[in-house]
Homo-oligomer: A and B are copies of this chain.
Amino acid sequence: MFESSAQIRVRYSETDQMKVVYHGNYAQYFEAARAEAIRDMGFTYKEMEDIGIAMPIVELHTKFLRPALYDDLLTIKTQLRAMPKDHRIEFHHEVYNESGKLLTVGRIVLYFLDAKTMARTVMPEALKKHLEPFFTV
């Protein structure tokens, strides 16, 4: 398994009048955390696009357990639990507050697509090599 961790400070704009983080903003937190996870893999999502690969999100599943509050320093864990076997990659996210309480869990499925043809493709070789050590017994 590959695991990575990122920190995000809740912005005022991300709260709503219920005085908590608006539920729709977690997609952005997951995405920011995923960008850091890919950076920890020795790659960046920006490079992915530069070499012609797009990674659209095809599924997003989120459970909201406890609210995040303004100015909270959140820790977001990102897990890749299995090496992708085809065009499909799945990430798990967990959001914790400073007291270590689990606030939100997310599961996101993305595809590897050729950005020009929009045909399905697979994980770039360079990224695959970087990840394989995390998935060997």
Question: Which one of A52-60, A93-101, A120-128 contacts B?
Answer: A52-60
Question: Which one of A26-34, A79-87, A129-137 contacts B?
Answer: A26-34
Which residues of the partner chain B approach A59 to less than 8 Å between Cβ atoms?
61-64
Contact with B along A62-91 (1 / 0, CB 8 A): 111001001100000000000000000000
Q: How far is the CA of A58 from the CA of B30 in the complex (A)?
A: 17
Instruction: Decide if A13 is an interface residue (CB 8 Å cutoff).
Output: yes
Interface centre among A12, A31, A57 (most CB of B within 10 A): A12
Q: How far is the CA of A23 from the CA of B9 in the complex (A)?
A: 19
Contact assessment for A70 and B57 in the assembled complex, using a CB-CB cutoff below 8 Å: no
Contact assessment for B28 and A70 in the assembled complex, using a CB-CB cutoff below 8 Å: no
Instruction: Decide if A44 is an interface residue (CB 8 Å cutoff).
Output: yes
Residues 7-35 (chain A) with a chain B CB within 8 angstroms: 9, 11-13, 15-20, 22-25, 27-28, 31-32, 35
A: residues with CB less than 8 A from B are 9, 11-13, 15-20, 22-25, 27-28, 31-32, 35, 44-46, 54, 56-64, 67, 70-71
